[in-house]
Amino acid sequence: MRRVTFYPDGEVRIPHETTGLQAAAPYDPAAAARRFSRALVRTAVINAVLLLAAVLLAYVVPVSDDENVALGIVLVAAVLSAVHLSVVVLGETRRRARAARGPNAALRAS
């Protein structure tokens, strides 16, 4: 149940009424840089484990005696690592672009 207060001037005021626009914290470039740095370190660790596992699978514990299969395993791991890095970098680029536009850009456009 909403509580409505009527004032002598005839105005209706609803306590804690929101306008639909959200207040956001100001954009902090230092915090964005720290977040991106952590994301890149996390991505590097994940990609290093993936590539190390591929090399171990292909050459140390060979799945197949065929050299082309071993090369294919390493190439697939390299492509997956490149895609993963691209997704992380593009995600951060989108996040920074959204922050530059402001928190209510979608509401203002409509």
Q: What are the tens digits of pLDDT across the range 47-56?
A: 999 999 999 9
CA 40 vs CA 45, 47, 85: distances in Å: 9, 10, 8
> 35: Cβ–Cβ under 8 A, 6 or more apart, which residues?
92
In a domain, 20, yes or no: no
Q: How many domains does the chain have?
A: 1
**Does residue 86 belong to any structural domain of this protein?**
yes
Residue 105 located in a structural domain: no
Is residue 11 one of the residues assigned to a domain?
no
Does residue 18 belong to any structural domain of this protein? no
61 assigned to some structural domain: yes
> Is residue 72 one of the residues assigned to a domain?
yes
- What mean pLDDT, rounded, does the chain reach? 83
Using one digit for the tens of pLDDT, what is the confidence trace for 56-93?
999 999 888 899 999 999 999 999 999 999 999 999 99
What range does the domain containing 75 cover?
28-100
